[in-house]
Structure formats: structure tokens, C-alpha cells
Structure 1
């Protein structure tokens, strides 16, 4: 997987360098239409190489897309939080019900139930019957 990722990054770098070399001419980017210049106080324009303008537009689109998706998924994140709280509440409830239920079982089932809820390595030892007895 690392090799594929590295190959993709190298290929992307080659393509971006090719685009940059092919579009080195200077372009003027107007931030507002010329008619608004008199109301905004001056000319709002930048002169830059064409490839920089292209990369800025792509980066702007990526940022807008990330913000859009973050806002779209806000409801999903809230639902996930509600479900996690409900799961924690139900696990606490089941944990409180186990000891009450264990008293009504016979002794063997109660021992098995407490052994299954005890964390691994918490002092539990396995008893192996001796051969020949």
C-alpha cells in the first residue's frame, strides 16, 4: 500500500510540475467586476502566474467541500453521540441486573456468570484434575 501511495504522490507531483511549466504566463485576476471598483475604492485585482491561479481555485474548492461535508455530517455525529450515551446507559443497567439475577440461579450457573464477567488475569486460576484419581 505504501508503494502505491508513493507512486500516486510522485505521479501527482509530476503532473503539477508539468501544469506549472506549461502555464507560466502572467494573468490578471479581478476579484470584483470593474464597475464595483469605484464603490470599493480602487482596483481589486491580482497579477500572478496562471498555474498559481489554477491551484488557488482548486484549493478553495477543496476547502469549501470539506466545510460542506462537515456541516452535512453534523446530524450523523449528533446521532452517534446519542446512541453511544444510550449504549453506555444500557450497559450500566445490565451490569446492575446481573448480581440480582445471579442470586436466583443455582450455584454452578452463578459461578460461571461471575467468572465470565471477571477480567482476564484478575486472580482466576484454572484447576486441572489430577490424572489417576
Structure 2
């Protein structure tokens, strides 16, 4: 649907995505929409989401949606927050516990994720191992 609407209405790709014409990425039940942040792109996104809802009967939970703006040179993002009902994301944006950065991730960037994993492993070990095994 996104590809069809891009061809039908036009679209302003994010500068690093235009050569490959990447407008969206999907992972499991998560959807990333990528654009240059122009009014046209925002209208195409909104129109596509409305079409998807009408056809599938599924609705996006806008309370769980976030918009991350790389720059706000023309004030369109504020207009889009009102237009779409999507919340503004606070930098750094995290996905699955890892911050989304344009630079290489360092050890400190992953500490939160590592701490969660260690905590979960300890909890699992305490539940599944015998007293002697825990000792």
C-alpha cells in the first residue's frame, strides 16, 4: 500500500534513503516510517495508515506511536503532531532497549540492555535450578 501511494501521490524520501526508495521498515509488529518530513510525505503516511485501517480493520495505537524528528527547520513536525495525534519522541530514541544512534554503539549505550538480560537470567536460574545448583 505504501509503495502504491508513493507512486500515486509522490513522496519525499529521507535523504539517505532515496536511492533505494526506502520509505518504511518493518520488524515483527513494529513499523518505522522514514521521510524527509515534508507535508506531502506526512499526508502519504496518514493516507496509507487510514487505508490500511479501513481494509484490515486493525487500528494503530497512537499512544504507543512516536515521531522522531532529525531536524525541525520548517516547523512541519509540530503541525504533524497535531495532524496525526502521534507523540514526539525524546532523543535518544530506544528500540528494544538499545538507543538508535547514527554513530557506533559503545559499551555504555548497551548497559541498560545488558543489565536487563543479566537480571532476567538470574531470575530464571533461581527458578529453575535446585538449591544445590544455585550454590
Give the TM-score band, short-chain normalised: under 0.3
Greater percentage in helix: 1
Normalising to structure 2: TM-score of the pair?
A: 0.20
Normalising to structure 1: TM-score of the pair?
A: 0.21
Greater percentage in strand: 2
Larger radius of gyration, structure 1 or 2? 1
